[in-house]
Amino acid sequence: MIHLFFSRKKTTYAQMKERNGDVILKHCVSAKAVFERNSIWYVEIEFPKSDLMGMEISDESVFKVDINFEEPQLYRIVYPKYNKQSDTYTCYATHVFFDSQKEVFVFDDRTMSGTWQDAINTANDIITNSRPNYHYKIYGHGKYANYANVNAEDEKIVYFRNVQNSGYCLDVPNASEDASIQLQMYQRNRTSAQTFMLKKVGSDRYGDIYGILSLCSCRWLKLDSGKVVLGSLSESPSDNSERWWFINNGSSYEIAPYGNIYYGIYPSSTSIGNGSSIIVADRGAAEVGNACKWMIEDVDSTQTAYWVRYNLIQCLFGTEENSMMNRWPECENNRYVAMFDNYDCYFGNPDYYPSKLKPNNFFISNKEMSEYTKKKSMENVVTGIIPKAYNGRLLPNNEIVKASNWDTDEIHRIDVKEYSDIKLMADDSQAKKTTLGVFTNETNLRNYLRIQAKKSLEKELQEPNTETSVKFEELFPYNVPNAQALKINDSIFVETDFGKRERFYSNKLTYNLITERPEDLDLVLESEV
């Protein structure tokens, strides 16, 4: 059923939810609702003028429509179009949450730095400060609920927080790039000086063995005469003095120098403060206590975004570089989809959504397919990168960073990839040494450029581009249980062969408001299961 309210001034939001409209559109020619991942939700409705019962559509008119997967939703008319020949109106209306594009705005230069949850909280503060007419609210738990204490893993980029005082982290003084600089404790600030990459080099009965790479210097942490200092500039730890056992004690790690299991990294002063030097000593000594225990904080959980004259939608999932969708990798990696319930928005880990908005699974047999095509393209595949830093800086001698399969592939696939955040301070007067990727020494910059290029090759550039299209004789026939409740972000398991299924998710959906069934789907292939 489609209701039309002519003015919000006469009817409150709460009343719209409970009441019938000023008119009920009973003779709609067509009516569809379009839902797309992290994009505007809208309806297009055509109906005869006679359904208005002599009344006029106002600038504030609102549709209330029934949608099977959630409560009735409100859509504000953007424009009505009258066709004199057919004597009908066609109205385009956007979901009421998108009123926030005009009502909620960041006027000042605002720096958002923190986790996904921090960004959600900041967005709600922006709503409060904007004093909108309606009470927009954003709910969004991040994947990294335990980001401050995660497991050690190969290639993971982390901060080390001390258990005795978790407000302090392992730190390179002044983000130095020089060899033999002794590490220290410093207040947690999430700068490059506190950023490290783990590289697993083995394991034995005492635990996993890692090299610890300082990303502000591209040097490996080294044991030198009882001190923890910056060591070599190399692709991997140069010798045992740059290797460390990671001993998991259940809630944290003790980090022992390879070859001496009874010792560990800890601050020279257990009354931890800025500048406390990092040494290696007997971790069983009574005075050491929790000072030799470390929690690993996942760097990927923390991002910085600059919200400068953004509206609320731009902050959340706009195309701008600093939107949450673009700045927090967990959004794309974990397929966060903004779901709306009138003036409420759920954006984050879908495990925490209301039950009606959580992703569901649907299963389709190959008998119901009318067409199945798959195109696999190698055009996007790259096995060698020419990395380019800020100001066009390249590696010496036209060096190419190569994937592990470089020597076995029939042809080499080389591309130039820009890393504009990697820069020398000499090239950018605004650059800060404590920013990740900023260096004073070109040798260190080159090493970091190699690291990032290798990560790009491993994570994003070697998979062929696959396009799969599935068409059904009848979209979700009635023998598919609960097909009418299909929504975006649901998983669609399609049987493509005997015993083989492919998993898709619905990226865009057109819902017929008259038949109350999905009408058209845009599917994205996830995996073969």
Q: Is residue 441 included in any domain, yes or no?
A: yes
Is it the case that residue 529 has pLDDT exceeding 70? no
Same domain membership, residue 428 and residue 500: no
pTM greater than 0.85: no
Sequence-separated (6 or more) residues with CB below 8 Å from residue 519:
32, 475, 510, 511, 512
Q: Is residue 495 included in any domain, yes or no?
A: yes
Among 23-32, 198-207, 428-437, 467-476, the range scoring the smallest mean pLDDT is 467-476
Same domain membership, residue 337 and residue 369: no
How many structural domains does the chain have?
Answer: 5
Q: What local confidence, expressed as pLDDT, does residue 140 receive?
A: 93
**What is the chain's mean pLDDT, rounded?**
90
The predicted model gives 293-304 an average pLDDT of: 88
DSSP letter assigned to residue 352? G
Q: What local confidence, expressed as pLDDT, does residue 463 receive?
A: 73
pLDDT tens digits, 194-246? 999 999 999 999 989 999 999 999 999 999 999 999 999 998 999 999 999 99
Where do we find the tokens 């820009």?
A: 418
Is it the case that residue 312 has pLDDT exceeding 60? yes
pLDDT top residue among 418 and 288: 418
Angle, CA of 449, 451 and 452, to the nearest 5°: 65
Q: Which of 300, 316, 338 is the last residue of a domain?
A: 300
Is it the case that residue 18 has pLDDT exceeding 60? yes
Q: Is residue 519 included in any domain, yes or no?
A: no
Looking at the chain, the number of H-run helices and the number of E-run strands are 7, 35
Q: Is residue 147 included in any domain, yes or no?
A: no
- The Cα diameter of the chain in Å comes to 91
Same domain membership, residue 270 and residue 314: no
Query: Which two structure tokens, joined as six digits, stand for 275?
Result: 């500048």
Query: Which two structure tokens, joined as six digits, stand for 229?
Result: 């200092």
Strands 293-298, 30-36: pairing is unpaired
Same domain membership, residue 221 and residue 173: yes
Is it the case that residue 501 has pLDDT exceeding 90? no
* Residue 446 CA: distances (Å) to CA of 220, 386, 400: 15, 12, 12
Range of the domain at 329: 104-136+304-355
Is it the case that residue 490 has pLDDT exceeding 90? yes
Same domain membership, residue 502 and residue 363: yes
Same domain membership, residue 162 and residue 221: yes
pLDDT tens digits, 250-265? 889 999 999 999 999 9
Here the CATH number for the domain that contains residue 225 is: 2.80.10.50
Same domain membership, residue 51 and residue 27: yes
Is it the case that residue 474 has pLDDT exceeding 60? yes
Residue 485 near residue 453, CB atoms below 8 Å: no
Q: How confident is the model at residue 134 (pLDDT cuts 50, 70, 90)?
A: confident
Same domain membership, residue 62 and residue 111: no
Q: Is residue 148 included in any domain, yes or no?
A: no
Residue 75 near residue 32, CB atoms below 8 Å: no
Same domain membership, residue 110 and residue 78: no
Q: Is residue 198 included in any domain, yes or no?
A: yes
- The CA distance from 439 to 435, in Å, is 9
Angle, CA of 302, 305 and 308, to the nearest 5°: 160
Same domain membership, residue 371 and residue 387: no
Is it the case that residue 480 has pLDDT exceeding 80? no
Q: Which of 300, 321, 340 is the last residue of a domain?
A: 300
Q: What local confidence, expressed as pLDDT, does residue 272 receive?
A: 85
Q: Is residue 258 included in any domain, yes or no?
A: yes
Strands 42-48, 88-95: pairing is antiparallel
- The CA distance from 518 to 506, in Å, is 11
Q: Is residue 436 included in any domain, yes or no?
A: yes
Q: What local confidence, expressed as pLDDT, does residue 517 receive?
A: 86
Same domain membership, residue 312 and residue 277: no
Q: What local confidence, expressed as pLDDT, does residue 142 receive?
A: 84
DSSP characters for 50-95?
Answer: GGGTT----TT-EEEE--TTSS-EEEEEEEEEEETTTTEEEEEEEE
The predicted model gives 167-184 an average pLDDT of: 97
Among 50-64, 302-316, 389-403, 456-470, the range scoring the smallest mean pLDDT is 456-470
Same domain membership, residue 254 and residue 162: yes
